[in-house]
Protein backbone atom coordinates (compact mmCIF):
# COMPACT_ATOMS: atom_id res chain seq x y z
CA UNK A 1 0.00 0.00 0.00
CA UNK A 2 1.37 3.39 -0.93
CA UNK A 3 1.85 6.14 1.60
CA UNK A 4 -0.72 8.32 -0.17
CA UNK A 5 -3.23 5.47 -0.11
CA UNK A 6 -2.69 5.03 3.61
CA UNK A 7 -3.25 8.75 4.11
CA UNK A 8 -6.49 8.79 2.16
CA UNK A 9 -9.72 9.29 4.10
CA UNK A 10 -12.07 11.90 5.45
CA UNK A 11 -11.77 13.91 8.65
CA UNK A 12 -15.56 13.91 8.88
CA UNK A 13 -15.53 10.18 9.48
CA UNK A 14 -14.03 10.76 12.92
CA UNK A 15 -15.89 11.92 15.99
CA UNK A 16 -15.36 15.51 17.09
CA UNK A 17 -13.78 15.92 20.48
CA UNK A 18 -15.24 17.05 23.78
CA UNK A 19 -14.53 20.64 24.70
CA UNK A 20 -10.98 21.40 25.83
CA UNK A 21 -11.70 24.84 27.24
CA UNK A 22 -14.38 27.31 28.24
CA UNK A 23 -14.84 31.05 28.30
CA UNK A 24 -16.55 31.59 31.63
CA UNK A 25 -19.46 33.99 31.84
CA UNK A 26 -21.91 34.28 34.74
CA UNK A 27 -24.37 36.91 35.94
CA UNK A 28 -22.89 39.70 38.05
CA UNK A 29 -23.12 38.72 41.74
CA UNK A 30 -23.78 41.02 44.67
CA UNK A 31 -20.99 41.95 47.05
CA UNK A 32 -17.67 43.82 46.91
CA UNK A 33 -15.99 44.46 43.57
CA UNK A 34 -12.41 45.12 42.49
CA UNK A 35 -11.62 47.16 39.37
CA UNK A 36 -8.19 46.54 37.86
CA UNK A 37 -6.78 49.17 35.50
CA UNK A 38 -3.77 47.74 33.60
CA UNK A 39 -2.09 50.26 31.30
CA UNK A 40 0.97 50.52 29.07
CA UNK A 41 3.34 52.97 30.77
CA UNK A 42 4.57 54.40 27.46
CA UNK A 43 1.12 55.18 26.02
CA UNK A 44 -0.89 55.51 29.22
CA UNK A 45 -3.67 53.49 27.60
CA UNK A 46 -5.29 50.24 28.82
CA UNK A 47 -3.59 47.17 27.42
CA UNK A 48 -4.38 43.44 27.15
CA UNK A 49 -2.53 41.52 29.86
CA UNK A 50 -2.79 38.35 31.91
CA UNK A 51 -3.41 38.80 35.63
CA UNK A 52 -3.69 36.60 38.71
CA UNK A 53 -5.24 37.34 42.09
CA UNK A 54 -4.49 36.53 45.73
CA UNK A 55 -6.97 37.43 48.44
CA UNK A 56 -5.59 37.57 51.99
CA UNK A 57 -2.54 35.64 50.78
CA UNK A 58 -4.43 32.79 49.05
CA UNK A 59 -4.96 32.25 45.29
CA UNK A 60 -8.38 33.45 44.23
CA UNK A 61 -10.42 32.79 41.09
CA UNK A 62 -13.37 35.16 40.74
CA UNK A 63 -16.81 33.85 39.80
CA UNK A 64 -17.44 36.91 37.66
CA UNK A 65 -15.34 39.00 35.28
CA UNK A 66 -16.98 41.94 33.50
CA UNK A 67 -16.94 42.71 29.77
CA UNK A 68 -13.53 44.40 29.98
CA UNK A 69 -11.93 41.06 30.83
CA UNK A 70 -11.82 37.38 29.89
CA UNK A 71 -11.97 34.38 32.21
CA UNK A 72 -10.58 31.30 30.43
CA UNK A 73 -10.43 27.70 31.68
CA UNK A 74 -8.23 25.03 30.10
CA UNK A 75 -9.73 21.55 30.54
CA UNK A 76 -7.95 18.20 30.50
CA UNK A 77 -10.52 15.44 30.82
CA UNK A 78 -8.27 12.40 31.42
CA UNK A 79 -6.44 14.00 34.34
CA UNK A 80 -9.55 15.85 35.52
CA UNK A 81 -7.47 19.02 35.50
CA UNK A 82 -8.85 22.54 35.04
CA UNK A 83 -6.70 25.66 34.99
CA UNK A 84 -8.42 29.07 35.05
CA UNK A 85 -6.78 32.37 34.16
CA UNK A 86 -7.92 35.97 33.69
CA UNK A 87 -7.07 38.56 31.05
CA UNK A 88 -7.71 42.25 30.58
CA UNK A 89 -8.97 43.20 27.12
CA UNK A 90 -7.38 46.65 27.01
CA UNK A 91 -10.80 48.31 26.81
CA UNK A 92 -10.86 49.74 30.36
CA UNK A 93 -10.65 48.66 34.00
CA UNK A 94 -11.62 45.01 34.54
CA UNK A 95 -14.23 44.36 37.21
CA UNK A 96 -14.21 41.18 39.30
CA UNK A 97 -16.16 40.10 42.38
CA UNK A 98 -14.43 39.64 45.74
CA UNK A 99 -15.37 37.35 48.64
CA UNK A 100 -17.27 39.00 51.46
CA UNK A 101 -14.98 39.80 54.38
CA UNK A 102 -11.76 39.93 52.32
CA UNK A 103 -9.22 42.37 53.75
CA UNK A 104 -6.45 42.66 51.15
CA UNK A 105 -5.91 41.68 47.53
CA UNK A 106 -2.72 41.27 45.46
CA UNK A 107 -2.86 41.57 41.67
CA UNK A 108 0.05 40.27 39.55
CA UNK A 109 0.00 41.35 35.89
CA UNK A 110 2.17 40.25 32.96
CA UNK A 111 2.28 40.79 29.19
CA UNK A 112 4.42 38.15 27.51
CA UNK A 113 8.20 38.30 27.89
CA UNK A 114 8.78 41.84 26.61
CA UNK A 115 7.26 43.67 29.59
CA UNK A 116 8.35 43.70 33.21
CA UNK A 117 5.71 41.89 35.29
CA UNK A 118 4.20 43.99 38.06
CA UNK A 119 2.23 43.30 41.22
CA UNK A 120 0.37 45.48 43.65
CA UNK A 121 -1.34 44.87 47.00
CA UNK A 122 -4.22 47.02 48.18
CA UNK A 123 -6.55 47.02 51.16
CA UNK A 124 -10.19 46.36 50.37
CA UNK A 125 -12.42 49.28 51.26
CA UNK A 126 -16.20 49.22 51.05
CA UNK A 127 -18.04 47.82 48.06
CA UNK A 128 -15.62 49.05 45.41
CA UNK A 129 -11.82 48.94 45.38
CA UNK A 130 -9.61 50.16 42.55
CA UNK A 131 -6.07 49.17 41.62
CA UNK A 132 -3.84 50.76 38.97
CA UNK A 133 -0.93 48.84 37.39
CA UNK A 134 1.53 50.14 34.79
CA UNK A 135 3.41 47.67 32.59
CA UNK A 136 6.73 48.82 31.16
CA UNK A 137 8.28 47.33 28.02
CA UNK A 138 11.96 46.46 28.37
CA UNK A 139 12.57 45.12 24.83
CA UNK A 140 10.86 45.15 21.43
CA UNK A 141 11.94 41.97 19.66
CA UNK A 142 9.76 42.64 16.63
CA UNK A 143 12.00 45.61 15.81
CA UNK A 144 14.86 43.10 15.58
CA UNK A 145 12.92 40.83 13.23
CA UNK A 146 11.60 38.33 15.81
CA UNK A 147 7.99 37.30 16.37
CA UNK A 148 6.52 35.12 19.13
CA UNK A 149 4.54 32.05 18.09
CA UNK A 150 3.02 29.17 20.05
CA UNK A 151 3.08 26.28 17.59
CA UNK A 152 1.60 23.59 19.85
CA UNK A 153 -1.84 24.46 21.21
CA UNK A 154 -4.38 21.69 21.85
CA UNK A 155 -7.71 23.51 21.99
CA UNK A 156 -10.87 22.86 19.99
CA UNK A 157 -11.72 25.55 17.47
CA UNK A 158 -14.97 24.33 15.95
CA UNK A 159 -16.08 27.76 14.68
CA UNK A 160 -14.54 31.22 14.33
CA UNK A 161 -16.95 32.57 16.94
CA UNK A 162 -14.34 33.01 19.69
CA UNK A 163 -11.47 34.23 17.50
CA UNK A 164 -11.60 37.76 18.94
CA UNK A 165 -11.08 36.35 22.44
CA UNK A 166 -8.09 34.33 21.23
CA UNK A 167 -6.59 37.44 19.58
CA UNK A 168 -6.91 39.33 22.87
CA UNK A 169 -5.33 36.54 24.89
CA UNK A 170 -2.51 36.21 22.37
CA UNK A 171 -1.80 39.93 22.61
CA UNK A 172 -1.91 39.67 26.41
CA UNK A 173 0.71 36.91 26.26
CA UNK A 174 2.88 38.63 23.66
CA UNK A 175 2.04 36.19 20.85
CA UNK A 176 1.63 36.93 17.16
CA UNK A 177 0.43 33.50 15.99
CA UNK A 178 -0.97 30.30 17.45
CA UNK A 179 -1.14 26.87 15.81
CA UNK A 180 -4.11 24.77 17.01
CA UNK A 181 -3.09 21.13 16.65
CA UNK A 182 -5.56 18.28 16.11
CA UNK A 183 -4.46 14.85 17.40
CA UNK A 184 -5.69 11.44 18.49
CA UNK A 185 -5.44 9.74 21.90
CA UNK A 186 -4.17 11.06 25.22
CA UNK A 187 -6.77 13.35 26.72
CA UNK A 188 -9.56 11.32 25.08
CA UNK A 189 -9.43 8.01 23.18
CA UNK A 190 -10.46 9.50 19.85
CA UNK A 191 -9.69 12.63 17.84
CA UNK A 192 -9.64 15.86 19.82
CA UNK A 193 -8.56 19.48 19.56
CA UNK A 194 -10.66 19.46 16.38
CA UNK A 195 -10.58 22.39 13.96
CA UNK A 196 -13.47 23.58 11.80
CA UNK A 197 -11.30 23.87 8.68
CA UNK A 198 -7.70 23.64 7.46
CA UNK A 199 -5.69 25.78 5.10
CA UNK A 200 -6.80 29.35 4.42
CA UNK A 201 -10.44 28.44 5.24
CA UNK A 202 -9.41 27.67 8.82
CA UNK A 203 -7.25 30.74 9.40
CA UNK A 204 -8.28 33.67 11.54
CA UNK A 205 -6.66 37.09 11.69
CA UNK A 206 -7.26 40.51 13.17
CA UNK A 207 -4.63 42.08 10.91
CA UNK A 208 -1.82 41.60 13.44
CA UNK A 209 -2.29 38.11 14.86
CA UNK A 210 -3.18 34.77 13.26
CA UNK A 211 -4.85 31.52 14.30
CA UNK A 212 -3.82 28.54 12.15
CA UNK A 213 -4.99 24.91 12.17
CA UNK A 214 -2.31 22.20 12.32
CA UNK A 215 -1.69 18.62 13.42
CA UNK A 216 0.40 16.67 15.90
CA UNK A 217 1.14 13.25 14.40
CA UNK A 218 2.31 10.68 16.96
CA UNK A 219 3.79 7.21 17.21
CA UNK A 220 4.57 5.56 20.57
CA UNK A 221 7.82 4.09 19.27
CA UNK A 222 9.13 6.78 16.90
CA UNK A 223 7.99 9.93 18.72
CA UNK A 224 5.81 12.97 18.00
CA UNK A 225 5.97 15.48 15.16
CA UNK A 226 4.15 18.76 14.45
CA UNK A 227 2.78 19.67 11.02
CA UNK A 228 2.04 23.38 10.58
CA UNK A 229 -0.06 25.15 7.97
CA UNK A 230 -1.56 22.00 6.51
CA UNK A 231 -4.44 22.07 4.04
CA UNK A 232 -5.57 18.57 4.97
CA UNK A 233 -5.05 16.27 7.96
CA UNK A 234 -2.63 13.39 7.39
CA UNK A 235 -4.29 10.16 8.44
CA UNK A 236 -4.34 8.02 10.50
CA UNK A 237 -3.40 10.79 13.02
CA UNK A 238 -1.45 8.39 15.28
CA UNK A 239 0.19 4.98 14.95
CA UNK A 240 1.71 2.38 17.27
CA UNK A 241 -1.50 1.83 19.22
CA UNK A 242 -2.21 5.46 20.19
CA UNK A 243 -5.86 6.45 20.37
CA UNK A 244 -9.11 4.90 19.16
CA UNK A 245 -9.48 3.46 16.59
CA UNK A 246 -5.89 2.32 17.02
CA UNK A 247 -3.39 1.58 14.26
CA UNK A 248 -1.17 -0.96 16.01
CA UNK A 249 1.74 -0.90 13.56
CA UNK A 250 4.57 1.62 13.89
CA UNK A 251 4.00 2.53 10.27
CA UNK A 252 4.48 4.67 8.25
CA UNK A 253 7.92 5.90 9.30
CA UNK A 254 7.71 9.44 10.64
CA UNK A 255 10.30 10.41 8.02
CA UNK A 256 7.70 9.62 5.34
CA UNK A 257 5.05 11.66 7.15
CA UNK A 258 7.42 14.62 7.44
CA UNK A 259 8.29 14.41 3.77
CA UNK A 260 4.63 14.06 2.79
CA UNK A 261 3.80 17.21 4.77
CA UNK A 262 6.65 19.13 3.14
CA UNK A 263 5.55 17.93 -0.31
CA UNK A 264 2.25 19.64 0.48
CA UNK A 265 4.13 22.88 1.30
CA UNK A 266 3.59 22.44 5.02
CA UNK A 267 6.11 23.17 7.75
CA UNK A 268 7.17 19.94 9.51
CA UNK A 269 9.20 19.47 12.67
CA UNK A 270 9.96 17.47 15.80
CA UNK A 271 7.81 17.92 18.93
CA UNK A 272 8.83 17.68 22.60
CA UNK A 273 12.53 18.06 21.93
CA UNK A 274 12.62 14.59 20.35
CA UNK A 275 12.30 13.08 23.84
CA UNK A 276 9.05 11.14 23.39
CA UNK A 277 8.94 7.73 21.77
CA UNK A 278 10.55 4.57 23.13
CA UNK A 279 13.17 4.69 20.36
CA UNK A 280 12.89 8.19 18.94
CA UNK A 281 13.80 8.62 15.28
CA UNK A 282 13.95 12.42 15.56
CA UNK A 283 17.73 12.77 15.23
CA UNK A 284 17.82 10.50 12.18
CA UNK A 285 14.93 12.40 10.58
CA UNK A 286 16.76 15.69 11.11
CA UNK A 287 20.07 14.42 9.73
CA UNK A 288 18.20 13.09 6.68
CA UNK A 289 16.91 16.60 6.03
CA UNK A 290 13.21 16.00 6.75
CA UNK A 291 12.93 18.48 9.65
CA UNK A 292 12.14 22.18 9.28
CA UNK A 293 12.13 23.03 12.99
CA UNK A 294 12.82 21.54 16.39
CA UNK A 295 10.55 22.17 19.37
CA UNK A 296 12.82 22.60 22.38
CA UNK A 297 10.24 23.13 25.10
CA UNK A 298 6.53 22.61 25.57
CA UNK A 299 5.85 23.56 29.16
CA UNK A 300 6.63 20.29 30.95
CA UNK A 301 9.57 19.12 28.82
CA UNK A 302 12.67 21.22 28.23
CA UNK A 303 15.53 19.60 26.33
CA UNK A 304 18.21 21.33 24.25
CA UNK A 305 20.75 18.50 24.00
CA UNK A 306 19.36 16.85 20.87
CA UNK A 307 18.81 20.11 19.04
CA UNK A 308 22.35 21.32 19.73
CA UNK A 309 23.80 18.08 18.36
CA UNK A 310 22.70 18.84 14.83
CA UNK A 311 21.95 22.55 14.78
CA UNK A 312 23.53 22.89 11.34
CA UNK A 313 21.21 20.24 9.88
CA UNK A 314 17.98 21.98 10.88
CA UNK A 315 16.65 24.73 8.66
CA UNK A 316 15.09 26.40 11.70
CA UNK A 317 15.70 26.01 15.41
CA UNK A 318 12.47 26.90 17.18
CA UNK A 319 12.34 27.48 20.92
CA UNK A 320 8.80 27.17 22.18
CA UNK A 321 7.42 27.80 25.66
CA UNK A 322 3.84 27.17 26.68
CA UNK A 323 2.05 30.36 27.62
CA UNK A 324 -1.20 28.47 27.91
CA UNK A 325 -1.19 25.40 30.16
CA UNK A 326 -0.29 22.18 28.33
CA UNK A 327 -3.18 19.80 27.57
| Residue 296: predicted pLDDT | 80
User: With bands split at pLDDT 50, 70 and 90, how would you rate the model's confidence at 294?
Assistant: confident
Q: Where are the beta strands (DSSP E) in the chain?
A: 21-23, 33-40, 48-55, 58-60, 69-76, 81-89, 94-97, 104-110, 118-123, 128-135, 149-153, 177-184, 191-192, 204-205, 210-219, 223-228, 238-239, 267-270, 293-294
- Average pLDDT over the chain, rounded to an integer: 88
pLDDT bracket for residue 243 (50, 70, 90): very high
Does pLDDT of 259 surpass 50? yes
Tell me what pLDDT residue 8 has.
39
Give dist(CA 250, CA 184) in Å, integer: 15
Quote the pLDDT of residue 16.
56
pLDDT interval class at 298 (50, 70, 90): low
The pLDDT tens digits of the residues spanning 200-223 come to 999 999 999 999 999 999 999 999
On the question of pLDDT at 282 being above 80, the answer is: yes
Tell me what pLDDT residue 312 has.
53
Average pLDDT over residues 288-304: 78
- Classify residue 96 by its DSSP letter: E
Q: What is the pTM of this model?
A: 0.89
Per-residue pLDDT at 235 exceeds 80: yes
The answer for residues whose C-beta is within 8 angstroms of residue 216's C-beta and 6 or more apart is 152, 154, 181, 182, 183, 224, 225, 226, 227, 271
Higher pLDDT, 274 or 165: 165
Torsion of CA 150, 20, 213, 220, to 10 degrees: 80
Return the pLDDT at 42: 95
CA dihedral 194, 198, 201, 205 (to 10 degrees): 70
Domains of the chain and CATH, by start = 3-18+154-313 (3.20.20), 21-135 (2.60.40.10)
pLDDT (mean) for 268-288: 89
SS3 at position 125: coil
How far is it between the farthest Cα atoms of the chain? Answer: 73
pLDDT of residue 79: 87
Across the range 64-73, mean pLDDT stands at 97
- Model confidence band, residue 4 (pLDDT cutoffs 50, 70, 90): very low
pLDDT value at position 286?
A: 87
Q: What is the pLDDT of residue 18?
A: 55
Q: Is the pLDDT of residue 60 over 80?
A: yes
Q: Which of 95-99, 232-236, 286-290 has the lowest mean pLDDT?
A: 286-290
pLDDT greater than 80 at residue 309 = no
- Confidence label for 299 from pLDDT (cuts 50, 70 and 90): low
pLDDT tops 60 at residue 324:
no
In this structure, what are the phi and psi dihedrals at residue 255, rounded to the nearest 5 degrees? -55, -40
Residue 29 has pLDDT above 90, yes or no: yes
Mean pLDDT, range 133-146, rounded to an integer: 93
Measured between alpha carbons, how far apart are the two ends of the chain, in Å?
A: 34
36-45, 116-125, 201-210, 271-280: least confidently modelled range: 271-280
The residues facing 178 across adjacent strands are: 150, 211
pLDDT-based confidence at 119, cuts 50/70/90? Answer: very high
**Is the pLDDT assigned to residue 121 strictly greater than 50?**
yes
Amino acid sequence: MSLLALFSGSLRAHEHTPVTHSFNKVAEPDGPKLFIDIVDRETGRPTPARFSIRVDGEPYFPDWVDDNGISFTSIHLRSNNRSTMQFSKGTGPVGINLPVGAKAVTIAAAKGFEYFPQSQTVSISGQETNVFIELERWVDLKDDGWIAIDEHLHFDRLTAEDDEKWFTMFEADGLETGHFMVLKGGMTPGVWSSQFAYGSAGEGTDGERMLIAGQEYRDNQQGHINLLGLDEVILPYSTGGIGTPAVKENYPPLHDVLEEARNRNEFAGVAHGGTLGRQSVSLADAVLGAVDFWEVSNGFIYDTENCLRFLGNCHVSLIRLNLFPPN
